[in-house]
């Protein structure tokens, strides 16, 4: 297995040279993901350098260990959350609950504004093709009857939930020109109750 991994790394390095991409072998390490207790010690090399073995690595903010136990990751998240909670606790004496609610708004309001902003991007063609492919196509019914859901199973999923918010938005939230920032500012000032 080690030799095939080394061959793959050499192929990646060769591809990089052909495409003007240079991989830094001195910053590269490897981690074997397994729950085996005993592993045979073989070396993996890239670009003629033996890569050091790492017991864990960080990928997209997640600490991954070789035995796939999340203790390190959860501990680091708990420490960061504890620090932020401490900051908030110390700042609490400077703000009344009413001030905090006025300053930050409710969590449900902030989520609704974020959902509406995403829906605005979709309806105005400001989103990626990946996102637009996930949205169901617009349905233009032949008759003017209102469809109802037979069950409440999907009632709280993104499209039905945000469609209700979207349809209840006041006219002042919409602009004649497409501007996401102004839409978010106007929507944030409107009660979305």
* SS3 annotation, 103-134: HHCCHHHHHHHHHHHHHHHHHCCCCCHHHHHH
Q: What is the mean pLDDT of the chain?
A: 81
Q: What is the pLDDT of residues 35-90, one digit of tens each?
A: 777 766 678 888 888 888 888 888 888 888 888 888 888 998 999 999 998 988 88
Where does the pLDDT of residue 91 fall: very low under 50, low under 70, confident under 90, or very high at 90 and above?
confident
Q: What is the pLDDT of residues 133-172, one digit of tens each?
A: 777 776 666 666 666 656 666 777 888 888 888 888 887 7
pTM over 0.85: no
């Amino acid at each position: 297995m080690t030799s095939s991994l080394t061959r793959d790394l050499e192929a990646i390095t060769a591809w990089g040279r052909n495409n003007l991409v240079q991989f830094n072998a001195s910053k590269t390490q490897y981690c074997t993901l397994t729950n085996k207790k005993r592993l045979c010690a073989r070396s993996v090399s890239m670009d003629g350098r033996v890569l050091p073995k790492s017991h864990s690595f960080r990928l997209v903010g997640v600490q991954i260990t070789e035995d796939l136990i999340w203790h390190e990751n959860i501990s680091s998240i708990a420490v960061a959350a504890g620090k932020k909670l401490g900051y908030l606790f110390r700042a609490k004496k400077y703000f009344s609950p009413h001030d905090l609610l006025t300053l930050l708004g409710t969590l449900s309001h902030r989520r609704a504004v974020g959902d509406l902003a995403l829906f605005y991007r979709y309806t105005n063609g400001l989103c990626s093709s990946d996102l637009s492919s996930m949205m169901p196509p617009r349905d233009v019914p032949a008759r003017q009857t209102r469809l109802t859901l037979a069950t409440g199973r999907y009632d709280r999923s993104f499209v039905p939930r945000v469609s209700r918010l979207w349809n209840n938005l006041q006219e002042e939230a919409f602009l004649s020109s497409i501007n996401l920032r102004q839409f978010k500012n106007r929507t944030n000032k409107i009660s979305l109750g």
